[in-house]
Amino acid sequence: MPIVSLAAARAAAEELISERSFTKSFRERPQAILEGQAPPSRRTTFDVFLSHSYQDAKVNAQVILGLKQIIESSGFTCYVDWIDDPLLDRTKVTSDTARKLRSRMQNCKSLLFVTSQNSSSSKWMPWELGFKDGDTATAGGIGRCAILPVLEETGRYLYRGQEYLGVYPYVSTRSTSLVVNSTNSNSSISFIDWLNGSDP
């Protein structure tokens, strides 16, 4: 099944922005959110906590916005810190930031870990993954955490995670649906079944 491409994420962001008739261009709009000029979200619970590098948001906010749109157009709610809590400062590791992120993760059913060139140097992403895994794990299993690989080009790829990321299932797309795939076999299940506790 196809892994999400950078082009698909950008296209989803452009679609979202044109649908909502933003007055600013898509390049200005995410930057305005990053600078804390957007109101915080009123939503308190989400299906997905989108764990991603803050550098990805700064350099290419359109891709992260597009991933949020792909998830939401599949019928799930998605938390992105700089969109839903624009005043949160992830550039500094503080107890206040950790407390807010912990609270948000506890109010999300799952976590998707976005792989990118910057994810391996993120201060927050391994902590978020470990916290959510422990928070949602069942006896002998892993929690509701999966990898969302984003590739340069579109196509059908079998994702194999590096190091500890290889123990988690990964998300791909099938038509307009999200699918969760095992990294150990060719099995997959629908995102909603995975969210409700089943494993591929």
Q: Report pLDDT for 25.
A: 47
In percent, how much of the chain has pLDDT > 90?
A: 36
81 compared with 37, residue with greater pLDDT: 81
Contact 104/79 with Cβ under 8 angstroms? yes
User: Global pTM?
Assistant: 0.85
Least confident of 87-91, 101-105, 173-177, 185-189: 87-91
Domain limits of the chain?
Answer: 4-160
CA 198 from chain center: how many Å? 20
Q: Report pLDDT for 150.
A: 85
The mean of the pLDDT values for the chain is: 81
193 compared with 36, residue with greater pLDDT: 193
* Residue 43, CA distances (Å) to 77, 80, 85, 108, 162 in order: 9, 12, 10, 11, 34
When pLDDT is cut at 50, 70 and 90, the band that residue 4 belongs to is confident
153 compared with 43, residue with greater pLDDT: 43
When pLDDT is cut at 50, 70 and 90, the band that residue 23 belongs to is very low
- The total of other beta-carbon atoms located within 10 Å of residue 95's CB is 7
Contact 199/143 with Cβ under 8 angstroms? no
Query: Taking 60 as the threshold, does the pLDDT of residue 27 lie above it?
Result: no
- Over the stretch 49-76, which tens digit does the pLDDT of each residue have? 999 987 777 667 888 889 999 999 999 9
CATH 1.10.3720.10 describes domain 4-160: no
Q: Report pLDDT for 109.
A: 96
- Over the stretch 152-186, which tens digit does the pLDDT of each residue have? 765 555 566 677 888 899 998 888 899 999 987 78
Question: What is 176-199 written as a DSSP string?
Answer: TEEEEE-SSSS-EEEHHHHHTT--
